[in-house]
Structure 1
């Protein structure tokens, strides 16, 4: 094998789908992802995640406070009424703070009247000495009934500076992320955070606290330091001082980024610093999630290649931490959890779709890609020159029956190794007893020489376990330049026609003809199409011309492939037979038809249900078991089931077929002979088999208005049916003239487009009601 022999299509070519179907699937995934994200946003389900992300923002910001706010923490409880010594110490500390030049002081304690009047008087005097530069901080706390209550210091301690109020609670995670700036219940009391920052007005009703600086960077002293005569007096000139309980006295389960159980005054101090820095921006979850939805939609709609789309996805994913860190440095809090959920759900859906595609395109036993992958690459014009080679492994089914699962895969992979004798990177595709590949070799004659050499390699048997297995291999070849998008089907079709003895290598000459004869990809799609509902049943009404009523329906199988559209029943039924899936298809159609018939009976319409049975199934009693099991599973009345035997020319043993049909009739079903009058559907077959019904072939029905011979044949069949007491049905009535003649010759039961086209079950139920109303004139 030379260097031109086999070059697999690039990986991105193997997996590319038609843009329209892939685009719609990606948009569908985006829609579902957005729905999940917005539902979670409406229910605030990701609030803990956003809290965690805000912690990250706070820790990476590394800002510095203004330094204009100083905290003085007291480890002594001054709030209790019996704490006279502590209150005298607080009074002395206030004197020290006043002498240190503080511009404004806030006492963040709730002071009640104590037992020692002299101690209270001393503290009150120290407070009044500040004049308007000292304010008491009242505390808004949650009450037991879930409402709010205001804890106020006693009036004896109130000085000219009056009072401010602060909130004393955190969320259920222990964090206070915001502070209100106005409060309807305490409108006359200024809010502590705004007063501490020196702000009179603010455009919003709450401040979003920025924790973007380390709590250790807040200037802080202990109350003991200020009253200790030996300590150096701090410089508090022009600064605002907050005096409150130290962390050891905290009664609130509070946390801030970088500190667990901080002093209770710290959230208000951070809020004031936020005022001063202006770092109070906010991007809500709704806005951010919509922005990411728009970004994903643009990536889906505007990118043309997978690599470009992946690059766009990567940029969008990086935008998530980008927003987080940019918000940290710009002072903008971001609710990114829901946008992250959007990306996560979308990513999971796309990963699942790729996994399903991989499963659908990879053979489980060997790990080789399936033939449909190569076919897709060719059909999308990704491969425009060279040849497709399909190798048929002769007698593979018999060989695999004798091998275990592990040995089967080993056997196939050893065959692939021989195909890769000259190119270890050759991409080989598998489907049933076919192995296929793409070669860039343009000269057909050189390719044939190479394939002859491969056949010589395969002349030696393969040892699997302890067994030596002979290999028979033949090749079908199609030139892409000639066969175009049908190259894989054409190569597979001619490979099926090869034989080891007479024509081991065959070249496809007319891809369109071969594609009509056989499309190999249908075999791989049959089971999946039934599971996906692509193969389904429609129902052709059978009308009683004497009474004008719907007396029965015939179930007709159809296949609508998402990529190829409607596939001819003749074509895919033939492929079912070649693939050994005829029993499976028959079971599927029987199950569907009997369920539909049972529904019609439940709706009060006691019509018969006709189902086609291939004559090829009349060589084995298994068809009896299939029918029996279906009737039991669906509960359908067997007396209303008619089995139409098609292609009676293919019945090899009339005696065996008669025995099987008698077994079927013992179940209660009726047997119909389809297409009577043509081929082997003749009098001998009619005489030898126990039929209850004859169906006049459409060849005669369609010609009955133009040909006296056709009319005579149809009339004689009707008369014969009456004499033999067998129902006769005419199928293929296309116009009113044909209906009139059939009525004249006494044919009671008719099917055809002149009466009704094949209908879905829903339309069939509507048709029955409307047709019978029109016949009765109601």
Structure 2
């Protein structure tokens, strides 16, 4: 929604007609014509009245929307506070404030620990009460003012209990013993844990119970607790000499550094190593301090500590002054006021400043208050303030962002300007889409027609862009970014998109033919501004050359001349052996046997080294030389297959067939010649085609494929899942093998969605009478999963990389040392 509207007054620029009569005014194109006694001022008032009413109505609607928005946010933040969703955030903020206020303890509270040293000296816990009696006498001998035992005293050995009671009786009013609740011995019940009566009569009973949060720590302590008929102070309150009402809690101030709490091992007290008066005037807390005894808690911002130290910090909190815990309501009410001002304030700059100052206050004031022992929780208030500022700020500045060119107002897509503002480089390759005659088409449409046209164009392009975000350029250009690993598979999508755009787009009762071409830029180290121009130049070159797509390659000077030279060298390279065929093994997953291979063409150039197959294969297709290249691969594959069949009659070699070859009978004659020349059974040759190829060439391609199947040649649908697959086309193509694109196997272990797609694809293929080949098998785990799914054949680097035929025969020849799993 918009919160700022341009003020319109004076009726200027409006065309309005009023019936002409006495005492009326006719206003045309904002110019009043006066009749009767009406003055120009009265005429303007008559004209402005509807505009004022409209403006008042719009302001009322905007105000109502603001109230509704603020009401929902206030309600949501209230719920946020009631259910304590913000507790982790409040805890994190308090940790930061505690670090900023970090301070040492007063030294008035000393911890005496039953630690590993004491356990090694005296023996395993629990000790005989004689030892605790000696410890008590030793503490008072060292000058302790009062002794607090963070230990439960149930009856044990009678003689030891008597010794301890006698030691306590010698120091009346100066010994305090713990009480608590047992929540485990009786399921569903809390049983009070009170000291045995002999001790209870001579020492004050205090509580060591506190609420432990899910993170195994406590943030508050009750002043008093009720255990059965006993109403007792907390140990912290008893140490500090303060009291409060039962159920009233105080927050623990963890800004006190636990490392500064004075500490003595119980072993040193028992062995007399502590000097007299060393504990003069001190309150001493005795408790376990060994990981073996499991009384370990988390002190926020200070790590795992024994529970006795949490009691010491709680006592230090009260010794300074009883803290006040205000909770989250007061900051929340403050946030309601500041956000209301931010939302409804008429002067935006002042309202924004107040909103920002409110958030700053919510972050800063708790630190100041804690210096005076006043504690608040601010998560619900910050939630309300920040979310309100984000939502309202987006609404206020969204239109300005569009006006800056970040969003195309017609298509609703991000523009390339948004991409440029996000950074100067991107690790992905850039795809540009060029629509031919886009401007001419738009010029013939009514004002609202461009939106309809762009909507249909975007919906079609989204099929090829996949999960990538489409970006809108100028003059009908579009872009998207994608990982370079997808380039090999996206080529088929380019071709499929060209096919889809052959269907006319209907807008406003008219049909338009829109031609689409693609350009790719892979210079990830270059600024995006440069890459956008490069990708678009490549798309333009593809359009000029009558192709589908083109990769921008500025690394070589005179790239066009190089491509023509490369084309001229193609025949010579075949004759010289620079173009050769590599074979990648195919494994039968059930048995681990190598049952076939895929023939892959390679070119090792004399000066440039290995050339990307996509580059010269695409060039051969574009310039009508793909037939010679395919004939070479078929001949080599048939020769290799004939040698392999001698070892294994079920062996088969796959060869990719270009879509262009499915337009004429040449491919049938080519296959027949190589089968006859090498005396190869037709079943040993598998021709791989894409379903896109069959779609492009239509009935002609299907008839040729049926003729090849009648010869006995196996047919495979290659790269399944990357084209425009439909069940109708799968049923029409006379294939007996379905080859699933490698990207599905690559993410099989991590993607439940791809697992579901793979499983359903295998079931579909089996239903249609086809077996399944999975490409991209890179790990043993992927192989095992495919085997469990019922996939028959696998292909990938885990099974074997493409290699020369002699190397392939070394792993294929049946000899005892051959590994069964490839």
Please say whether Structure 1 and Structure 2 have the same fold, judged by a TM-score greater than 0.5. no
Structure ID, larger Rg = 1
TM-score, length basis structure 2: 0.41
Larger RCO of the pair (alpha carbons < 8 Å, separation 6+): 1
